[in-house]
């Protein structure tokens, strides 16, 4: 059962990218309406409400900043009946917090995409409470149509998954920039170094997605003993430096999500 009408509460970068992906997948723009108190128009001619609509929706996609949830929860709750699924892309907001604010909903979902959803290539993490089988299928379909759907079994892992799949593009972009910057410092023209780095990562990512080999195996297949690639890998691998740095990066992002969840619980 697909959701026939979806209200988007807040229309920022992430929810806009999700809509872009769904339209690319063949969804009709008239399946979406937007609530935003000040915005006058949205891409693709989506209908915008500056006050709360009185329509009943199959799903409500909440995309405001996490600290704004309490400011709108009471008004939003009045729109949510027993057939409405609440879908949250708010980092750090737990299912318990959503259930407490929207007790009449047909279920609450934490849905964590990244901006690649605009290109239908986002890994989408999902966890839910209260969903029946039909609504779970509908949520899975929403996620799969903008990338992949990954249901997470335990909510205590959700912030880690968000750090990996949601925040991860930021870390990858920083690494691409580091590759380009390093090459520029060694003599390449900066714009050319950037083009080469971006194109290299694009191809490497596509190969990793299509290959039966793990990324670790692919790295070894690229490297010849004593060759150029292996010499570079030796630097990254020395004393586990890269793995240690990335683990610290993920830990910091995960822990921030848990801090945000604690703050939201205190307010709720």
Helix/strand/coil (H, E, C) string of 245-262? HHHHHHHHHHHHHHHHHH
Domains of the chain as residue ranges with CATH: 6-161 (3.40.50.720), 168-257 (1.10.3730.10)
d(CA 7, CA 52): 10
Q: End-to-end CA distance of the chain: give it in Å, rounded.
A: 32
Which of 52-56, 78-82, 117-121, 259-263 shows the highest mean pLDDT?
Answer: 117-121
* Site of tokens 């915008």: 48
What does the pLDDT read at residue 1?
A: 54
What does pTM read for this prediction? 0.87
Detail the DSSP E strand segments found in the chain. Answer: 6-9, 32-35, 47-49, 59-62, 85-88, 107-112, 122-129, 147-151
pLDDT reported for residue 209? 93
Q: What is the mean pLDDT of the chain?
A: 93
Taking a C-beta distance cutoff of 8 angstroms, is the pair 193, 183 a contact?
yes
pLDDT band at 128 (very low <50, low <70, confident <90, very high): very high
Task: Give the chain's largest Cα–Cα span.
Answer: 68
Residue 220 in 3-state DSSP? helix
Per the listing, tokens 């903008």 go with 146
Q: Which pLDDT belongs to residue 44? A: 83
> What is the model's pLDDT at position 267?
67
> What's the pLDDT tens digit per position in 23-49?
999 999 999 999 988 887 777 888 999
> Does pLDDT of 110 surpass 70?
yes
Kindly report, residue by residue over 226-265, the tens digit of the pLDDT: 999 999 999 999 999 999 999 999 999 999 988 888 877 7
pLDDT at 223 > cutoff 80: yes
- The region of weakest confidence among 38-47, 92-101, 132-141 is 38-47
User: If you search the block for the tokens 């605009």, which residue do you land on?
Assistant: 118
> In this structure, what are the phi and psi dihedrals at residue 61, rounded to the nearest 5 degrees?
-100, 115
């Amino acid at each position: 059962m697909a959701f026939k009408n979806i209200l988007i509460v807040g229309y920022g970068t992430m929810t806009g990218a999700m809509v872009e992906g769904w339209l690319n997948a063949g969804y009709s723009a008239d399946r979406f309406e937007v609530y935003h108190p000040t915005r006058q128009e949205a891409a693709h001619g989506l209908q915008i409400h500056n006050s709360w609509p009185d329509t009943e929706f199959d799903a409500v996609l909440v995309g405001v900043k996490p600290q704004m949830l309490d400011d709108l929860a009471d008004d939003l709750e009045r729109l949510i009946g027993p057939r409405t699924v609440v879908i949250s892309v708010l980092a750090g907001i737990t299912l318990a917090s959503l259930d407490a604010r929207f007790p009449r909903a047909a279920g609450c979902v934490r849905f964590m995409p990244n901006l690649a959803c605009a290109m239908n290539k986002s890994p989408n993490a999902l966890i839910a409470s209260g969903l029946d089988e039909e609504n779970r299928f509908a949520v899975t379909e929403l996620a799969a149509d903008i990338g992949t759907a990954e249901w997470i079994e335990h909510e205590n892992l959700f912030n880690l998954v968000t750090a990996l799949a949601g925040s991860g593009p930021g870390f990858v972009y920083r690494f691409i920039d580091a590759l380009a910057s390093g090459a520029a410092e060694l003599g390449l023209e900066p714009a050319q170094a950037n083009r080469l780095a971006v194109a290299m990562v694009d191809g490497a990512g596509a190969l990793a997605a299509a290959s039966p080999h793990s990324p670790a195996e692919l790295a070894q297949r690229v490297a010849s003993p004593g060759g150029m690639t292996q010499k570079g890998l030796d630097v990254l691998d020395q004393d586990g430096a890269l793995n240690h740095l990335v683990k610290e990066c993920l830990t910091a992002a995960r822990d921030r999500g848990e801090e945000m969840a604690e703050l939201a619980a205190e307010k709720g």
